[in-house]
Amino acid sequence: MHRDIERLLARIGLTPRGESTALAGGDIAAVCRLDTDQGAVVVKRDAAERLAGEAEGLRVLGEAVTRLVVPEVLARDGEWLVMEALAPRGRAAGDEVALGEGLRELHAVTGGPHGWHRDNACGTTPQPNAPLADGRAFQRERRLLPLARACHERGLLDPRLRARLEALSEGLETWLPDAPASLVHGDLWSGNVLHTDRGPAIIDPAVYRHYPEVDLAMLTLFGTPSEAFFEAYWNGPSPDDWPRREALFQLYPLLNHLLLFGGGYRGAVERTLDRLGRD
């Protein structure tokens, strides 16, 4: 075991027992489960700035929701983060409803401009969060245009597709209403939702304030939430423009995947732009 983590555990009064066990989901950071004299913990090693943003996000989410489980941050120092270990189980009846109600509770936390007081990261991609009063401007200036530029500079986005993204970004005010900024998880793909003995849990956040559909669009992009989830979330019928918002807010994670993993995601970006063009 690394001496730094031994010292960090000792600082919070924990003594390790045995060897650590690597956990799935460690493609970007090293993540392991470790038994201690006071129960199991999860230890994560990553760039210090990314871990600082994650630790803050977990604390913010933990204060904002009562209907979802958020792992407690026990300690952080430099490139190390120690968190409460959750007890996983299979999906249970009622989990989808609980997740929908929990996200509705989270997104009801509104106030302030779109953005966050610090930048964080979505995967390994730096996520600029400098606040803007208008959500359309934030989506354009902090999300779509920076990633379109980065993908183009790496040869992953041809000039025609980049021009389509820029035209969409410049035209957001013609159809997307401005709205109060909700607290969002920020990276809510299905792998960041766990089913535990205490109910559904959310992990690995990249929090900021923006349109709440940011989280819903990520869930539908990489998973298939049930009707029960949406009924619990909307607490009634979905808004008429949900399909268009879904496509819009899927563009950012798709561009991020294009940037991180290469040209296999270019077709998905173009198909999503086609969806927006038809609506």
Domain boundaries, the chain: 3-84, 95-278
Q: Are 184 and 64 in contact (CB under 8 A)?
A: no
Closest alpha carbon to 279 in 171, 151, 150: 171
Mean pLDDT of all residues in 110-137: 96
Residue 1 above 80 pLDDT? no
**3-84 CATH fold:** Phosphorylase Kinase; domain 1 (3.30.200)
Is 158 labeled as catalytic in the residue annotation? no
Q: Does residue 28 register a pLDDT over 70?
A: no
Q: In the structure encoding, which two tokens stand for residue 61, read together? A: 């989410």
Q: Which pLDDT band, with edges at 50, 70 and 90, does 27 fall under?
A: low
- CA dist 95 and 98 (Å) reads 5
CATH superfamily of 95-278: Aminoglycoside phosphotransferase (APH), C-terminal lobe (3.90.1200.10)
Q: Does 37 have pLDDT greater than 90?
A: yes
Q: Could you report the per-residue pLDDT of 215-266, keeping only the tens digit for each? A: 999 999 999 999 999 999 999 889 999 999 999 999 999 999 999 999 999 9
Going by the DSSP 8-state scheme, the letter that residue 88 receives in this structure is B
Looking at residues 152-167, what average pLDDT do you find? Answer: 97
Least confident of 21-30, 98-107, 145-154: 21-30
State how far the Cα of 78 lies from the Cα of 49, in Å rounded to an integer.
8
Catalytic residue selected from 95, 187, 204, 215? 187
d(CA 60, CA 65): 9
Burial 79-117 (b: 16+ CB within 10 A, else e): bbbbbbbbeeeeeeeebbbbbbbbbbebbebeeebbbbe
Q: What is the mean pLDDT of the chain?
A: 94
In this chain, the answer to whether the domains covering 3-84 and 95-278 adopt an identical fold is: no
Residue 117 binned pLDDT confidence (cut-offs 50, 70, 90): very high
Nearest to 252 by CA among 145, 162, 141, 144: 144
Q: With 60 as the cut, is the pLDDT of residue 26 above it?
A: no
Q: What is the DSSP-derived secondary structure letter of residue 40?
A: E
Say yes or no to pLDDT of 277 above 90.
no
Q: What is the mean pLDDT of residues 108-118?
A: 97
- Structure token pair of residue 211: 């349109």
**Whole-number pLDDT of residue 25:** 58
Name the more confident of 43 and 19: 43
